[in-house]
Amino acid sequence: MAARLTGRPAGRAGRLSGSPAEVLLDGGTPVMVKRGDGPGAVRAEVAGLRWLAAAGAVRVPAVLGHDEHWMVTERVPTGSPDPAAALRFGQALAALHAAGAPHFGAPPPDGPQDAYIGLAPMRNAPGTDWPAWYAEHRVLPYVRGAVDRGTLLPGEADVFERVCARLPELAGPAEPPARLHGDLWNGNVLWGADGEVRIIDPAAHGGHRETDLAMLQLFGCPHLDRVLAGYQEAAPLADGWRDRVALHQLFPLLVHAVLFGRGYGEQALTGARRALAR
């Protein structure tokens, strides 16, 4: 598979036992081989990696080859999280966001509108007003999905609908669309052995920059205080951003409620009620 997609002989052949899997190319070069989780998933991820790389900000693994179902990327040797690397990562993340997007919901160039965040479908539909777009495409579809799966009760959907109705006043100052990684939890942050951070597995789209930062805080990140300090140094966030973290975390929490169950639904409810209490 790796040989076919890269045009380079593989030093270790055989069937892949999992995805992603490490494979050695001829000469001992390690690469990662990954199978897409659904129709268009590889196309979306490849387009996302290339769009993020084009910003010249946060580093991403190079795409070495792909088809409709499989992709091959460089393997990143990892090391230990480091405060200095975290500060640089925050600065680079600010530069990535500042590279911008044509509109909220913009897919990467050559990327599909119907993409994924993890295993969940994610539609990249255009919008010009962030509160309305966030409600329509990043909150309410996953509320409906969670109700359908029984991880939210029908009556609990009203809490999220009330948040969405108040989004224009809760969202803070208007900002231009940012170039988002889109699934920036700690597992998608690689601390390179060379002292530089890479980000992997994007659900890239145009969105609000605070969403990436809120997701990074939701699932924990080593030296998060240094990441945020670097970001604030490069591109200060609007006043009140800490009060809006719960609002931006609704998207990943609802996705997790759809995929993984009631516990995440309860966390999303807590965040929604916290937002309404402001």
| Contact yes or no for 171/240 (Cβ under 8 A) | no
- Which residues neighbour 34 within 8 Å (Cβ) at sequence distance 6 or greater? 19, 20, 21, 42, 45, 70, 71, 72, 73
Burial of 11 (0-12, 13-18, 19+ CB in 10 A): middle
The residue count for the chain: 278
183: annotated active-site residue: yes
| Contact yes or no for 139/207 (Cβ under 8 A) | no
CA 190 to chain centroid = 14
Marked catalytic residue, from 82, 110, 114, 183: 183
**Alpha-carbon span 24 to 4, nearest angstrom:** 13
Give SS3 for 33: strand
**Alpha-carbon span 85 to 115, nearest angstrom:** 31
Helix (H) or strand (E) holding 190: strand 189-191
Catalytic positions? 183
